[in-house]
Structure 1
Amino acid sequence: MQHAKLKRSLTVFPIVLFGLAYMAPTTVFSTYGVVAQITKGMVPAAYIIALMGMLFTAYSYGQMVKAYPVAGSAYTYTQKAFNSHIGFVVGWVILLDYLFLPMINGLLVSIYLNAYFPSVPFSIWLFAFLALITIVNVIGVKIAANVNVLLIACQFLIIIIFAFLSIKGLLHGMGSGTLFMSSPFVNGDIPISLVLAGSSILCLSFLGFDSVTTFSEETINPKKNIPKAIFLVALIGGGLFVLISYLSHLVYPNFQSFKDPDSAALEIAVYIGGNLFQSVFLAGYITGGLASGLASHASVSRLLYAMGRDGVLPKNIFGYIHPKFRTPTYNIILVSIFTLSALFVDLVTASSFINFGALVAFTFVNLSVISHYFIREKQRDGINTIKYLVLPLIGAGFTIWLWTNLDSKALFLGLGWLAIGMIMLLSITKMFRKQPPELSIDHAEVNEMQA
């Protein structure tokens, strides 16, 4: 019997659209208020610094796709370029992202609903959010692809309306009353350390630009088109974030006056478009948050199941499948319990937790290029030194620089998570005397399990 293979039919344009959709364009609103106050209004400058780091990392992802043109992740590239032990540790740190994504979705949805309906406590909204995504994921209802496309279209529509209303307001004297202002980009009165602190939080907005690697086996000429798509997704997405944050600052320059920085975008929405646009904005934002919450919750539940099945975690709990619903019920409930940490964690710390894992992963993708091409394959002549040593080294430097500027609590707890992973690695490998099991954390596998 002949095995079915994925059909190579995708070109750069549809892959870029998928990558931009995966990044979720409305994420620019999620941390705008808190970063505006941290950077003293220099959110666009903070986005540019984060974008620079992401572009170098996107370049490195593209180089690793050329070496391994299959659906993969930072974990896969690290494992191939270095060894399975380092790959295990990087994979373990990446799990931090997956664990905190459902939590930050619940946190953001509850913050915005509480801001719009202040008489209903934040905790009530969080419990309602958790109940919905837990029940849906336990039952195993799949969100149809066309519904997801509709949700993505709604997000782009909200951004377009937001930009239109901002520009219209500025032309009529609203806010700063001008379309051109240099202070959000260059301001000698603001220490660079504050801008860097903002950049380390804003890395959250870029998560998912590497998701297009999952289409490597369905893309025409993947060694050429996937690297191009990864770079374009990071560049276009970053440009969009800079533009929207710039317009937000122009139309609402008094960033110190936000009633609640966590939901500042809602205050800007009512300022530029009245109660009607505020309601439309909230509806679109919450819908996107619920869709993202469902997907991220389902993903991490299945990742934990894969780890239980493979013996990385206790199989009787994490490897359990409900006989009726055929879903990893215990894992879904455990993730929901973990998501309740949103009751005690603020937005900056939650974002920093996710960025801890992401920046570690990005650093090792950059270093993987050096290990694979420059060291192992000895491609060191002429231009190759720039391609396989200088550029990825700059990328690694950027991501390490941003990593060191993360929230101190996130650094402390993130390093604690890393220590737990090291202890597990020592135990599983009998003090490095045997190979560790492979972690099932590739995007392709997660998507397949969700189907």
Structure 2
Amino acid sequence: MARPRPSGAGLRIKSPERLVAESGADLEGHGLKRTMGLFQLVCFGVGAVVGTGIFVGLSDTVAEAGPAVVISFVLAAITCVFTAFSFAELGGAIPVSGSSYSFAYATLGERMAFLVGWCLLLEYGVSVSAVAVGWGQYLNELLNSLIGWELPGALANPPGDGGVVNVPAVIVMVLAALLLVRGMRESARATAAMAVLKIAILVLFCGIAFTAYQQGNLSDFAPFGLAGITSGASLAFFSYIGFDAITTAGEEVKNPRRNIPLAILICLGIVTVLYCLVAVAAIGAFSADGVAETPAALSLIVNEVTGSTVGGAVIAFGAVVAIASVVLAVMYGQTRILMSMSRDGLIPRVFERISPKTSTPVAGTWIVAVVFAIPAAVVPLDAIMNLTTIGTLAVMAVVNFAVIALRRSRPQLKRSFRVPFYPVSPLLGIGFCVYLMYGTGVETWVQFAVFLAVGVLVYAGYGRRHSRYGADGASAEAEPESVAGPGGEPEATQAAAAEAPRGA
């Protein structure tokens, strides 16, 4: 049975069925392949999350909150839990590569979807630059431990941070791009191996640091009060960015309606426990002031506790691997979101082209690597973190709202996971996101407002004009109802795929 959709410029709402139908193959005729199982997907999520935020950014978070950084991590995790429920419901109901962008398109319309995709440039594109910036710090720590030599500061740090150009940041992005264009199977295996390795190394760090634990180091628990905890939570949230990258793999996951929700919740649980343990172990062994003053604190703590540089070298190696895996996973997520936006005509078609040989968006991957390697090479980490955080929180607030909108507009849509305590849970998710956005400061809000204004202009000048869904009044076309196929999967009918507007 057909249902009309509004034809207003900002209300071009695309149904979940149409999104799934159009994702079956890209417009060039070469689709993505489903190669990832649950274990690989969980590892992919952990790979996207655990990196610079805990290995490098821990010092900044502790500087804001003191020992109460544990509460900051928990507060950031609570925000993520509510939002993770929403991602899990939407990821199971709409298992496509566009993640938040596609969810917004199905509930709030094309204009909002474009702005969400625009903000995802911060969460994925700019954050991958931020992650890459921290890679050089631990690479130097590893080189110093192994051979007593390190890269000159001018080549290992960006301007304003003691350097001229961050060469390691560029190198790690190029290496990630090389692996991604080879194929998703190879990338997934590499990500899984790196995820297991870095979890093992963080557990090893906790085991060593707890042997030197001193209760007195946590005595002045919240020296900066609630304001410090809130500010710390906003910074700590950067450490969780990436778990939603799981939903960008919707077209390359086996049984996505089951595995995507499960992977999101498992990933978030593993990461939260790890972060709290690492924070308590680090402060207990080294004091809050010591951690706050040392960017690569984990290696130094292990060196001091063991009286050897071997342990520190192991931690530094884990950090090098961890940050590289984040670059790999987040760059993957960015290319898949751009691919979805390109399919809809909102950005140039080059991003939707899939190589018939590797089943990957080769051109889009290299464009992302080159464009975001530039800020990674020349912009300090702290200049990027807050803007990335506020953009991500804004997207997550929209995702929570999208759950409510989809429940109201499509109550009968098949959902493999449902948000518990609806509608309280998504409303709390929105509230926590706004609260942490407040903690980023006025300057970040101004930067974000300017960023959004530019996005509105880009949509008006390019996206709206080239939209395939809006062409020839297509937004008013009838949408197909879902049909239960084998295993409860809705069948993407040939008619739905054929109706999808092609070129602008």
Q: Same fold (TM over 0.5)?
A: yes
Please state which band the TM-score falls in when normalised by the shorter chain.
Answer: 0.7 to 0.9
- For each residue in 1:309-347, what CA deviation from the matched residue of structure 2 results, as whole angstroms up to 9, or x when unmatched? 8654466x878999x999866973674454333455433
Stretches (4+) displaced over 6 A: 3-9, 317-322, 324-327, 431-434
CA change 1:124–1:17 in 2 (3 A) is: closer
Instruction: Pick the aligned partner of 1:194 from 215, 228, 245.
Output: 228
Sequence identity percentage: 22
State whether residues 209 and 230 of structure 1, in contact with CA within 8 Å, keep that contact through their aligned partners in structure 2: yes
Q: Which structure 2 residues correspond to residues 392-411 of structure 1 after superposition, within 5 A?
A: 392-411=426-445
- Tell me which amino acid in the other structure corresponds to 1:361: V
Find the aligned partners of 2:177 and 2:467 in 1 and give their Cα distance. Answer: 37
Instruction: Pick the aligned partner of 1:121 from 148, 152, 171.
Output: 152
- Tell me which amino acid in the other structure corresponds to 2:311: F
Find the aligned partners of 2:440 and 2:330 in 1 and give their Cα distance. Answer: 23
- Tell me which amino acid in the other structure corresponds to 1:163: C
Is 2:322 aligned against 1:288?
Answer: yes
Alpha-carbon deviation of 1:226? 4.2
Instruction: Pick the aligned partner of 1:429 from 456, 464, 470.
Output: 464
Find the aligned partners of 1:395 and 1:245 in 2 and give their Cα distance. Answer: 24
Is 2:459 aligned against 1:416?
Answer: no
Find the aligned partners of 1:226 and 1:135 in 2 and give their Cα distance. Answer: 27
Alpha-carbon deviation of 1:30? 2.6
- For each residue in 1:219-267, what CA deviation from the matched residue of structure 2 results, as whole angstroms up to 9, or x when unmatched? 56936x64344233223321221121111111111x3245854323332
Instruction: Pick the aligned partner of 1:60 from 83, 86, 110.
Output: 86
Taking structure 1 as the reference length, what is the TM-score of the superposition?
0.77
Find the aligned partners of 1:357 and 1:288 in 2 and give their Cα distance. Answer: 23
Aligned to 1:244: 278
Comparing 66-75 and 280-289, the one that deviates more: 66-75
Other structure's SS at 1:412 match: helix
Is 2:58 aligned against 1:32?
Answer: yes
Aligned to 1:272: 305
CA change 1:74–1:250 in 2 (3 A) is: same
CA change 1:115–1:160 in 2 (3 A) is: closer
Is 2:195 aligned against 1:152?
Answer: yes
Aligned to 2:210: 167
Aligned to 2:170: 130
Find the aligned partners of 1:306 and 1:212 in 2 and give their Cα distance. Answer: 15
Gaps of 5+ in 1: 439-451
Find the aligned partners of 1:17 and 1:53 in 2 and give their Cα distance. Answer: 21
- For each residue in 1:194-235, what CA deviation from the matched residue of structure 2 results, as whole angstroms up to 9, or x when unmatched? 111111111122223234443588556936x64344233223
Taking structure 2 as the reference length, what is the TM-score of the superposition?
0.69
- Tell me which amino acid in the other structure corresponds to 1:402: L
Cα RMSD between the aligned structures? 4.3
State whether residues 209 and 234 of structure 1, in contact with CA within 8 Å, keep that contact through their aligned partners in structure 2: yes
Alpha-carbon deviation of 1:282? 1.1
CA change 1:74–1:136 in 2 (3 A) is: closer
Aligned to 2:16: none
Comparing 141-150 and 427-436, the one that deviates more: 427-436
Gaps of 5+ in 2: 1-24, 26-30, 157-165, 476-504
Other structure's SS at 1:41 match: helix
- Tell me which amino acid in the other structure corresponds to 1:162: F
Comparing 213-222 and 226-235, the one that deviates more: 213-222
Find the aligned partners of 1:366 and 1:391 in 2 and give their Cα distance. Answer: 9
Aligned to 1:443: none
